[in-house]
Amino acid sequence: MDTLLPVHDRGGPAQPLLLASGLRKHFPVPGGLLGRSGKVVRAVDDLSLSIAKGETLGVVGESGCGKSTVARLLVRLIRPDRGTVVLDGDPVDEPHGITVNELRRQVQMVFQDSFASLNPRLTIIETLAFAPKAHGVSTAEARQRSRDLLAKVGLEPGTFADRYPHELSGGQRQRVNIARALALQPRLVILDEAVSALDKSVEAQVLNMLVDLKTELGLTYLFISHDLNVVQYLSDRVLVMYLGKIVEIGAVDAIYGNPRHPYTRALLSALPSMDPRKRTKEAPIQGDPPNPIDPPSGCRFRTRCPFAEDVCARAEPALTDTGAQAVACHMSVPGSGHSKAA
Amino acid sequence: MSELLQVRDLNVTFVTPDRTVHAVNGVSFDVRRGETLGILGESGSGKSVTLRSILKLHPEHRTRWSGSIKLEGDEILTMKGGELADLRGNRVAMIFQEPATAFDPVFTIGQQIVETIRRHTGKSEADAQKRAKELLELVRIPSPAQRLKAYPHEMSGGMRQRAMIALALSCNPSLLLADEPTTALDATVQIQVLLLIRELQRELDLGVIFVTHDIGVAVEVSDRIGVMYAGKLVELASVEQMVDAPRHPYSRGLLASTVHGGMRGQRLEAIPGAPPDLSEAPSACSFAARCRFAESKCLAAPPPLMSMGEGHLVRCVGTVP
Amino acid sequence: MAIQSPSLEISTGSVKATPASASRGYWQQVRRRLARDPITLICAAVLILIIASSIAAPLLGLADPYKTSMLRRLQPVFSPHYLLGTDELGRDMLSRLIYAGRLSLFMGVTPVVCALLIGGLLGITAGFVGGRTNMLIMRIMDVFYAFPSVLLAISLSGAMGAGASNTLLALTLVFIPPICRVSESVTTQVRGFDFVDAARASGAATLTIVRVHVLGNVLGPILVYATSLISVAIILAAGLSFLGLGVKPPEPEWGLMLNTLRQAIYVNPLLAALPGVMIFITSICFNLMSDGLRAAMDVKG
């Protein structure tokens, strides 16, 4: 096979591009006898989400919330303990569905720019040609494609093809990371803190480019970031995670304009003020994000929540639809037993 | 002397067999007690190098300094050995971005704070322990007596950062240097630490220099903001002046390209291009290659710092007072 | 008049590279740095001299290293006809020292090369695959690692009997665990880098990923460690021969020569020390070269 065959849309616009149900991933904590200590890091617990074709779904959360684990589960770099992933109607890694390799042709990931996101021993063009060659494309064709990709991400092929990663700036490396993700012509691109390590002025350039590429290539994005401003700018819908669970999900204007979950509200008020006359007077919540090794019983946020009551320790709130968004909080569920519930 | 710190025409160049880097090219500013100067810049702007030069932290054999840094009248750049040791941690203290690496992992927090106190003030062990506990209370660490016996890895990121602030304040410095201390912290923790620094500054009448690349953070903590680019201060103004009416094209570009939600649906105004290579000292305006308003006079000579009135300084020949 | 910003296409957002000198790959940079390091160059020159002279020994017009002469035993250094004197059986020392280089160097380098191949393969596999395979391989290595290397070498040689080939086998077995351990450690580290995950996410076969992405980053440190073992191997081989467990007489070998010249210490100490001097020089040169290689490979970026 000389060229990559394009993958066709199968379900039409109404079918979600990606549907994840009940994903669970626990990591054993090393230590103790025989390398097992009995404790687990409950990174992701019973998580379900759907991504519509052509949308940008933003994922926000602080350290330990599990958003990077979700990204790796969706690309199958890690196998979930439980749960299913369905790509455009085809279940993944199941007898009647598509294989993991076929999933990888359609779902690709852009990593954060770190010194180890590109192989330091390979030239840029060798890095970009690697994936197509692994899928059977001839070397000559793969190299030509790589040059086209470089041009598409704004890096002049003649100059950059034979350079090494250490000779590029952070912004340039990130463009290469994006080009690498596009090499197999995927339909869904997962961006895991893809602009977080960049300077603000470079970040703006790269964001503009991401918007252009999405329109030009008909991509769908899952945009993971801790930067609430960038997520608001880029996303159509936003999902807020805390300790391995989704606490709120909805259209971007609903989440930012009328946040229902106490954690979402705290996150938004923790943003530094841009007005020196209206500085932040008090921190919205105290303490650090807790450890996912022993999450609190019931609602995981209750230890830092100003509105926590007994029911919050007893029962875990389910993600409930409240019109513009879905919230996992007893206060938003009528009849839950919380004093503030309708 | 009302000025706590006076920096005049600071130049810092790194010389190695492979290459030369003119990291800082003629920076001048003052800091008073009870005031926070925020230094805003991107990577390669020279902001961290400027800060570290105040404590002469770079290796002597490959760093060349020129200019003057005076702390309460004493010239820092000519200090060596004992004088420098007396300065560091005692009169000037610094907090860093990575609290995990600022502490020695094999000693408890208490041991490290006590050691610093005893080395600089000669207090007894008991007195130093008492002071260490007071410091942990000052930085609002809960259960301070127990925390003194904790090792760095047993504490969360936010707690470690507070402990680092406690360590920095242990000998009553008059000047606190902060090198991106909240960059690695989560949003909800970052705001707590920023508020803490502001409160401590008021309580202890400290002078603070806060280096950051985040405009929001700079606005939250600073009284005055200096913007650095390619090793120079391109604008120096009060925080209100900087937010309401930035004058330098780079400052304006920086503010315009900082993403916030209100920009949804619009194209971002990115500053085109990239910062210049610093292997040679600048002979013209370093920003001209990326500037929309560049003219021939910008390429003729390095622009001087000009006053716009009311303490607002701009390094651009295109601006008019 | 406004000047158009040079070399930029603002509308298409394309960027220019930082004006750098010609692109240099990692190994090219390492070679350049090695070439600039005086100590490495001197050691390399000395080693080339020793190796070349021992390989070309028959062509150098030396005396017969096996020819004994009871009359001319233990002649001192700088005697007429005998530049470095004679040994306890009247054989020419200079000739024996140079010929001995062949066996001593062979016994030093070969076990390391074999251990590199076997230990490296095991270590890289353990590091990349992880999990139970890793545990299995590394715990087996730990068993061998528990013995001090000298003791292990002596026991193995003692069990198998003396002779050059048994020594080679024993030394190879001694060096496999440390090389395996270093390989596993480096491979595990590289395995955790994002670019390896990116390669996995592209759907490439495992062997392809190892070949293209892992080997290039892992072989360097392993090689440096292995070269540092050569000096140890030379000393161990000489030690075994000294104890009578290695090479058998009358073969010239530095360690063996140290043994047979023991009595000469009272008569002519300089003579007795000569083989030791050769071991010392060779071993230190390998050691310093290994250090130089490590420093050269510590390139930033």
Q: Is the pLDDT of residue C279 over 50?
A: yes
Cβ-based burial of B178 (10 A; exposed 0-12, middle 13-18, buried ≥19): buried
Residue C278 to residue A107: CA distance in whole angstroms: 62
Residue ranges in chain B whose pLDDT is less than 50: 1
The arithmetic mean of pLDDT across residues A41-45, rounded, is 90
The pLDDT value given to residue A32? 59
Closest-approach residue (CA) in chain C for A123: C25
Amino acid at A256: Y
Contacts of A214 (CB under 8 A, 6+ apart): A56, A221
Q: Packing angle between helix A124-134 and helix A170-182, nearest 10 degrees?
A: 20
Q: Bridge partners of A327?
A: A248, A320
Give all chains having 3 or more CB-to-CB distances under 8 Å with chain A.
B, C
Of the pLDDT bands very low, low, confident and very high (cuts 50, 70, 90), residue C249 is confident
The pLDDT value given to residue C21? 46
Residue C82 token pair: 């005998």
Residues A269-322 pLDDT 10s: 999 988 888 888 888 888 788 878 888 888 999 988 988 888 898 988 989 998
Q: Is the pLDDT of residue C6 over 60?
A: no
Q: Given C26, C199, C201, which is nearest A121 (Cβ)?
A: C26
Q: Could you tell me the sign of the dihedral formed by the alpha carbons of C180, C182, C183, C187, in that order?
A: positive
Q: Is the pLDDT of residue A229 over 70?
A: yes
The arithmetic mean of pLDDT across residues C179-201, rounded, is 93
Domains of chain C: 102-297 (1.10.3720.10)
Q: Could you tell me the sign of the dihedral formed by the alpha carbons of C62, C64, C69, C74, in that order?
A: positive
Q: Given A274, A280, A288, which is nearest B189 (Cβ)?
A: A288
- C18 in reach of chain B (CB within 8 A): yes
Cβ contact C12–A154 (<8 Å): yes
- B273 in reach of chain C (CB within 8 A): yes
- B268 in reach of chain A (CB within 8 A): yes
- Distance (Å) from the alpha carbon of C231 to chain A's nearest alpha carbon: 29
- Distance (Å) from the alpha carbon of A154 to chain B's nearest alpha carbon: 11
Amino acid at A196: S
Of the pLDDT bands very low, low, confident and very high (cuts 50, 70, 90), residue A180 is very high
Q: Which residues of B186-212 are buried (b: 16+ CB within 10 A; e: fewer)?
A: bbbbbbbbbbbbbebbeebebbbbbbb
- B311 in reach of chain C (CB within 8 A): no
Asked if residue B12 lies in contact with residue B187, where contact means CB atoms within 8 angstroms, the answer is: no
- C131 in reach of chain B (CB within 8 A): no
Taking Cα atoms as reference points, which of B154, B75, B86 lies closest to residue B116? B86
Residue B72: CA atoms inside 13 Å, Cβ hemisphere, count? 8
Contacts of B17 (CB under 8 A, 6+ apart): none
Of B83-97, B215-229, C4-18, C56-70, highest mean pLDDT: B215-229
Cβ contact A164–C26 (<8 Å): yes
Percent of chain A whose predicted confidence (pLDDT) is above 90: 57
Q: Is the pLDDT of residue C13 over 60?
A: no
Q: Is the pLDDT of residue A1 over 50?
A: no
Residue B10 to residue B8: CA distance in whole angstroms: 6
The pLDDT value given to residue B2? 63
Residue A293 to residue C221: CA distance in whole angstroms: 36
- Residues on chain A touching C200 (C-beta within 8 angstroms): 77
Q: Bridge partners of A191?
A: A110, A223
- Distance (Å) from the alpha carbon of A331 to chain B's nearest alpha carbon: 22
Q: ∠ at Cα B247 (B244, B249), nearest 5°?
A: 120
The pLDDT value given to residue C12? 32
- Residues on chain C touching A180 (C-beta within 8 angstroms): 198, 202
Q: Is the pLDDT of residue C76 over 60?
A: yes
Please report the ipTM that was assigned to this predicted complex. Answer: 0.86
What does DSSP assign to residue A193?
Answer: S
Cβ contact B195–A286 (<8 Å): no
Of the pLDDT bands very low, low, confident and very high (cuts 50, 70, 90), residue C299 is low
What does DSSP assign to residue B291?
Answer: -
Residue B277 to residue B106: CA distance in whole angstroms: 41
Residue B105: CA atoms inside 13 Å, Cβ hemisphere, count? 4
Closest-approach residue (CA) in chain C for B293: C2
Cβ contact C5–B294 (<8 Å): yes
Closest-approach residue (CA) in chain C for B295: C2
Of C94 and A51, more confident: A51
Residue A42 to residue A38: CA distance in whole angstroms: 12
Residue B169 to residue A30: CA distance in whole angstroms: 37
- Residues on chain A touching C301 (C-beta within 8 angstroms): 120, 164-167
Amino acid at C286: F
Asked if residue A51 lies in contact with residue A57, where contact means CB atoms within 8 angstroms, the answer is: yes
- Residues on chain A touching B269 (C-beta within 8 angstroms): 204
- C89 in reach of chain A (CB within 8 A): no
Give CA separation, A68 vs A64, A226, A279, B42, B305, in Å. Answer: 9, 11, 32, 26, 46
The pLDDT value given to residue B18? 78
Domain spanning B3-91+174-259+268-314 has what CATH number?
Answer: 3.40.50.300
The arithmetic mean of pLDDT across residues A44-53, rounded, is 93
Cβ-based burial of A139 (10 A; exposed 0-12, middle 13-18, buried ≥19): exposed
- Residues on chain B touching A282 (C-beta within 8 angstroms): 195
- Distance (Å) from the alpha carbon of A249 to chain C's nearest alpha carbon: 27
Of A261 and C64, more confident: A261
Mapping DSSP to helix (H, G, I), strand (E, B) and coil, where does residue A141 land?
A: helix
Closest-approach residue (CA) in chain B for A64: B186
Residue B18 to residue C134: CA distance in whole angstroms: 41
Residue A180 to residue B96: CA distance in whole angstroms: 34
Q: Is the pLDDT of residue C261 over 90?
A: no
Amino acid at C239: G
Cβ contact C3–B294 (<8 Å): yes
Residue A100 token pair: 């993991």
Closest-approach residue (CA) in chain C for A160: C17
Give all chains having 3 or more CB-to-CB distances under 8 Å with chain B.
A, C
DSSP code per residue over A267-330: HHHTSPPS-TTS---S-SS-SPPPPTTSPPSSSTTGGG-TT--HHHHHSPPP-EE-SSEEE--G
CATH 3.40.640.10 given to domain A18-120+170-261: no
The arithmetic mean of pLDDT across residues A241-250, rounded, is 94
- C8 in reach of chain B (CB within 8 A): yes
Residue A80 to residue A97: CA distance in whole angstroms: 17
Of the pLDDT bands very low, low, confident and very high (cuts 50, 70, 90), residue C140 is very high
- C217 in reach of chain A (CB within 8 A): yes
- C148 in reach of chain A (CB within 8 A): no
Residue spans of the domains in chain B: they are: 3-91+174-259+268-314, 103-172
Q: Which residue has the tokens 């000469």?
A: C264
Of C72 and A303, more confident: A303
Q: Is the peptide bond between C250 and the residue preceding it cis, with omega within 30 degrees of 0?
A: yes
- Residues on chain A touching B195 (C-beta within 8 angstroms): 280, 282-283
Of the pLDDT bands very low, low, confident and very high (cuts 50, 70, 90), residue C89 is confident
Cβ contact C203–A166 (<8 Å): no
Q: Given A134, A180, A205, which is nearest C205 (Cβ)?
A: A134
- Distance (Å) from the alpha carbon of A56 to chain C's nearest alpha carbon: 21
Residues B137-167 pLDDT 10s: 999 898 898 989 999 888 888 889 999 999 9
The pLDDT value given to residue B171? 86
Asked if residue B286 lies in contact with residue B317, where contact means CB atoms within 8 angstroms, the answer is: no
Q: Is the pLDDT of residue A136 over 60?
A: yes
- Residues on chain A touching B217 (C-beta within 8 angstroms): 272
Q: State phi, psi for A198 to the nearest 5 degrees.
A: -95, 155
Cβ contact A135–C203 (<8 Å): yes
- B284 in reach of chain C (CB within 8 A): no
- Residues on chain A touching B216 (C-beta within 8 angstroms): 271-274
- C1 in reach of chain B (CB within 8 A): yes
